Amino acid sequence: MDWYGDFINRLITCRACSRLVGYRESVKPLPKFSNEVYWRKPVPSWGDLPNAKIMIAGLAPAAHGGNRTGRMFTGDDSAQFLFRALYEVGLANKSYSVSMDDDVVVRCIYITSVVKCAPPNNKPSGEEIHTCVNNWFRYELEHVRPRAIIALGHIAFEGIKLALGIRAGFRHGDYIDFNGVRIFMSYHPSPRNTNTGRLRMEDLVRILRMAMEYAGCAST
Ligand code: SF4
């Protein structure tokens, strides 16, 4: 766990991707958050260290989610869907994730993203994905050393493959094994997927349970 504090301290000063730095710092607050000071920096990962056996990796923080609250998968609709699922399987003590001081505690998981800064339209470029994976995400993988990884969305899966140097196609609900690590694939819990039924709560819960069983995270 010693690595984590140093990692976050270094991460939040990163300015390697000029387009993303410009965007994260210029996002205009939504009216409903107009009294908040946005984080506007690379968004820290978080989790149950040093006990995390499952890494949950999204694509990148949302402009009004992590880029506002300063914690990955916190404060937007995708986060609420994810945390309802995590609560359902006993990996979180609350069914929401709204702010850094919301008293949410997770167990056995580490929540991260392959790109650490909010991209315009949720679309980082290939070069930005490479830069962030090479600068930060691979380092996290090497230090968390998860037994299972859940890729939320195909671009997150691309980042994981890049970090590990593997080739495979994305198939929702499926998994691949690499050096003893099982990598599960799920559609991203974005409103576009969850509101259309492309990703249902029972699907995500099932994937979480499979990862828990493989990684040895006992149900509560
Ligand atoms: Fe740095 Fe990653 Fe943000 Fe690029 S996306 S500026 S590499 S933290």
Tens digit of each residue's pLDDT (9 = 90 or more) over 56-110: 999 999 999 999 999 999 999 999 999 999 999 999 999 999 999 999 999 999 9
Nearest to 98 by CA among 58, 118, 61, 69: 69
Give the pLDDT band of residue 220 (cuts 50, 70, 90). low
Decide whether any atom of ligand 1 lies within 6 Å of the 136 Cβ: yes
Give the pLDDT band of residue 162 (cuts 50, 70, 90). very high
What is the spatial distance between Cα 114 and Cα 143, in angstroms, rounded to a whole number?
15
Q: In what order do the strands lie in the sheet with 148-152?
A: 46-47, 109-113, 54-58, 148-152, 181-186, 175-178
- For the segment 187-205, the average pLDDT, to the nearest whole number, is 97
3.40.470.10, 3.50.30.10, 3.10.129.10, 3.40.50.720: which CATH number matches 2-215?
3.40.470.10
Q: What are 145-157's pLDDT values in tens digits? A: 999 999 999 999 9
Going from the Cα of 132 to the center of ligand 1, the distance in angstroms, rounded, reads 5
Residue to substitute in 131, 133, 162 for testing ligand 1 pocket (most ligand atoms within 8 angstroms of CB)? 131
Residue ranges of E strands in 28-100: 46-47, 54-58
Residue to substitute in 40, 59, 135 for testing ligand 1 pocket (most ligand atoms within 8 angstroms of CB)? 135
Percent of the chain's residues with pLDDT above 70: 99
